[in-house]
Structure 1
Amino acid sequence: MLKTVDKQRHRKVIIREMLIGFSILVVFLFFGENFLSLFHLSSQAVTIAGGIIFFVISLKMIFPSPSGENMFASKDLSEPLVVPITMPMIAGPAALATLLVLAKTNTEHTGKLFLSLLLAWAVTALVLLFSPHLYKFLRTKGLTALERLMGMLLLIMSVQMFIDGIRGIIPTFSG
């Protein structure tokens, strides 16, 4: 996604995008319940929607397009700002849905959720910052294999999110 951006700017763009993404994630962690209430959304609806989004993304990771185009590739040739790095890669709908559900179902563990978010964000930032070195090590075949493996993991997570959402709404039908 940064191939059209000057190599010296890569690090600055990644750091900027990661900070914007982290800000969005933190807002959703702490104010997600208010967001759900504002739009009259249930956590089960968000869980099911997040599961569906994860499912679609995972299928694209496992079975990429024949053209080899990245699903998040920018159509704009200028430097990316917020789209497509911050959203949907860092703070995408599935991540926001996950945070909303975790914050709602674990209200007594908000501090631990924040630390988990911070840790996941830091690992993501490191991977993005060291991606040129990672590419040199894994090469194209290694990255393809890793992407497919992560796609399978994401697929399993998406199905579990969908099941959890359905389990959450079943009691409302039996009343």
Structure 2
Amino acid sequence: MEYSFWGGLMLMVLMADPLGNIPITISCMKGVPNNRRVRVLFRECMIAMGMLLLAMFFGRPFLAAVGLSDAALSIGGSVIVMLMAIRMVFPTKEGVFGETPGGEPYIVPIAIPAIAGPSTIATIMMLAASQPDRLFEWGLVVFITCAASFAVLASADWLERHMGEKLTLAFERLTGLLLAMMATQMFLGGFSSYLESLPKHGL
């Protein structure tokens, strides 16, 4: 399945789910001084971007080494996306990514798995594997996704005060519904590719 630049960007931003990560960010930043919060978030977003770029550049050789096809990546990614969508539509008290540790965050849980989680890593690997001649575009998608996450998470306190818990939850559930539909499309695309790869026997 081929994605346009804007389609890939929309998918990555939805997978990163900046609005859904607001509660995680607020919880993790409680013990961080106000004058350090922006720097900590910037560091976490840079780490997440590095992880996603590594997955983009070296994901395909890794898949080839372990014998996984593009169809398997697409179908497996769709399962991860669907599970994430279900947890967003039907949230639990632990949140989308489960319980998070306290103190100043370092890599976990904001960089990984909130931004560069299994879903976003699988997505960028899928995009790069399906169209390896467009790595510059996919790298730009990663950069914009992490920049959008930083902008939203840096204003997490302000957004929570002005949007309120109910509106934030409504946006997260809407995002979950969109992800569920995208997961279905990813599954159908992967299944179609698998059928095309099967040897054709005459009747």
Question: What TM-score results when the alignment is normalised by the length of structure 2?
Answer: 0.78
Alignment partner of 1:90 is 2:115: yes
On the 8 A contact 2:97/2:114 being kept in 1, the answer is: yes
Alignment of structure 1 residues 70-89 onto 2, 5 Å = 70-89=95-114
Aligned length: 173
Shift of residue 129, structure 1, vs aligned partner: 0.9
Alignment partner of 1:6 is 2:6: no
Shift of residue 7, structure 1, vs aligned partner: 4.0
Cα distance change, pair 73–41 in 1 and its aligned pair in 2 (3 A): same
What is the rounded CA distance, in whole Å, between the counterparts of 2:29 and 2:130 in structure 1? 41
Describe the superposition over 1:19-65 as per-residue Cα deviations: whole angstroms up to 9, x where unpaired.
11000111111222112122221121111111111101111111112
Structure 1 counterpart of 2:190, from 161, 165, 169 = 165
Alignment partner, residue 74 of structure 2: 47
On the 8 A contact 2:29/2:103 being kept in 1, the answer is: no
Between 1:86-95 and 1:134-143, the stretch displaced more is 86-95
Cα distance change, pair 3–108 in 1 and its aligned pair in 2 (3 A): closer
Alignment of structure 1 residues 54-133 onto 2, 5 Å = 54-65=81-92, 68-133=93-158
On the 8 A contact 2:81/2:179 being kept in 1, the answer is: yes
Cα distance change, pair 155–7 in 1 and its aligned pair in 2 (3 A): farther
Shift of residue 83, structure 1, vs aligned partner: 2.1
Alignment partner of 1:15 is 2:42: yes
Structure 2 counterpart of 1:141, from 150, 166, 190 = 166
What is the rounded CA distance, in whole Å, between the counterparts of 2:96 and 2:31 in structure 1? 19
Question: What is the aligned-residue identity percentage?
Answer: 31
Unmatched 5+ stretches in structure 2:
1-23
On the 8 A contact 1:22/1:91 being kept in 2, the answer is: yes
Cα distance change, pair 101–119 in 1 and its aligned pair in 2 (3 A): same
Cα distance change, pair 75–103 in 1 and its aligned pair in 2 (3 A): closer
Question: What TM-score results when the alignment is normalised by the length of structure 1?
Answer: 0.89
Shift of residue 102, structure 1, vs aligned partner: 1.1
Alignment partner, residue 176 of structure 2: 151
SS at match of 2:138: helix
Unmatched 5+ stretches in structure 1:
none
Alignment partner, residue 35 of structure 1: 62
Shift of residue 5, structure 1, vs aligned partner: 2.4
Partner AA of 1:94 in structure 2: S
